[in-house]
């Protein structure tokens, strides 16, 4: 995984080489930004899922309370 990421960064840096020395920095920043966005998306999905699970539990508790 690490080697693959390094290769991708190298390819991206080479692609951005017309920016000069900043190409590698730009490639690293874009990679980190993509990771950050993906992590944020996962956290948002997890929060939504936890919210739905909490709603389901609340509904089950209400149904159980009605049965008593």
What DSSP string runs through 18-63? GGTTHHHHHHHHHHHHHHHHHHHHHHHHHHHHHHHHHHHHHHHHHH
Per residue of the chain (68 residues), give pLDDT as tens: 567 777 777 777 777 766 666 667 777 788 888 888 889 999 999 999 999 999 999 999 999 998 88
The pLDDT, as a whole number, for residue 62 is 93
CB 9 within 8 A of CB 28: yes
Backbone angles phi and psi of 3, in degrees to 5: -65, -40
| pLDDT of amino acid 23 | 67
What residue segments make up the domains of the chain, in order of their start? 2-67
**Distance, CA of 48 to CA of 42 (rounded, Å):** 10
């Amino acid at each position: 995984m690490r080697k693959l990421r390094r290769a991708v960064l190298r390819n991206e840096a080479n692609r951005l080489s017309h920016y000069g020395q900043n190409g590698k920095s730009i490639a690293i920043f874009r990679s980190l930004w993509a990771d950050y966005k993906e992590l944020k998306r996962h956290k948002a999905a997890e929060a939504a899922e936890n919210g739905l699970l909490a709603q389901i539990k609340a509904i089950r508790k209400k149904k159980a309370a009605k049965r008593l």
